[in-house]
Amino acid sequence: MYEPGHLHRGNSLATSDTPTYAIDLHYEVRKDAVEGPMLHMTLKGDIAGTAFDESFELHRDTAFNFASVVSRLAHKHGLPTHVLLISHEHEEFDLMFEDIRQRLDAHSGDPVDLDHLEKDGL
C-alpha cells in the first residue's frame, strides 16, 4: 500500500522461504543548512517476529537510489534477498519516485556530485 510519504509492505503468511513481515517506509524532505535538501527515510517493521528501526538520509542528487538502500537494510534485518520491497516493476515505485522528485524539485539530467555517492554509502 502506498500513499505519498509512506509505503507499507507485508506478508502475513509465512512459507518455507518467506517469513512473515510488516514493514513501513516513511519519507520526507528535510533542509540541511550545509548539505541542502535531503531525503530522510525511516524504515521500521518486523521480520519473522524481530522488530527493527532504521533511518537514513540521501542527498537530493542521490535520492533516487533509495530502493537499493531500503532493500539492503531490509535484507540486513532478515528479509530474504528474493523478496523485493520496492521494485521498478511495482506501480507504487513510479508513484513514489515521482513524489520524491517533486518534493526535491529534481529534474532529469540534474548533475550528480560524486562525493555525495560516497557520503550516502552508495
> SS3 of 12, please?
coil
> Letter for the amino acid at 38?
M
Residue 118 pLDDT: 87
Taking the C-alpha atoms of residue 78 and residue 56, their distance in angstroms, rounded to an integer, is 18
Task: Map grid coordinates 519473522 to a residue.
Answer: 48
Sign of CA dihedral 86, 1, 60, 111: positive
Is residue 74 within 8 Å of residue 52, measured between CB atoms? no
pTM of this structure: 0.91
Beta carbons within 10 angstroms of residue 48's beta carbon: 13
Residue 38 pLDDT: 97
DSSP β-ladder status, 36-47 and 21-32? antiparallel
| Domains along the chain with CATH numbers | 2-120 (3.30.160.370)
CA 117 to chain centre: 16
Which residue stretches of the chain have pLDDT < 50? none
Taking the C-alpha atoms of residue 85 and residue 68, their distance in angstroms, rounded to an integer, is 10
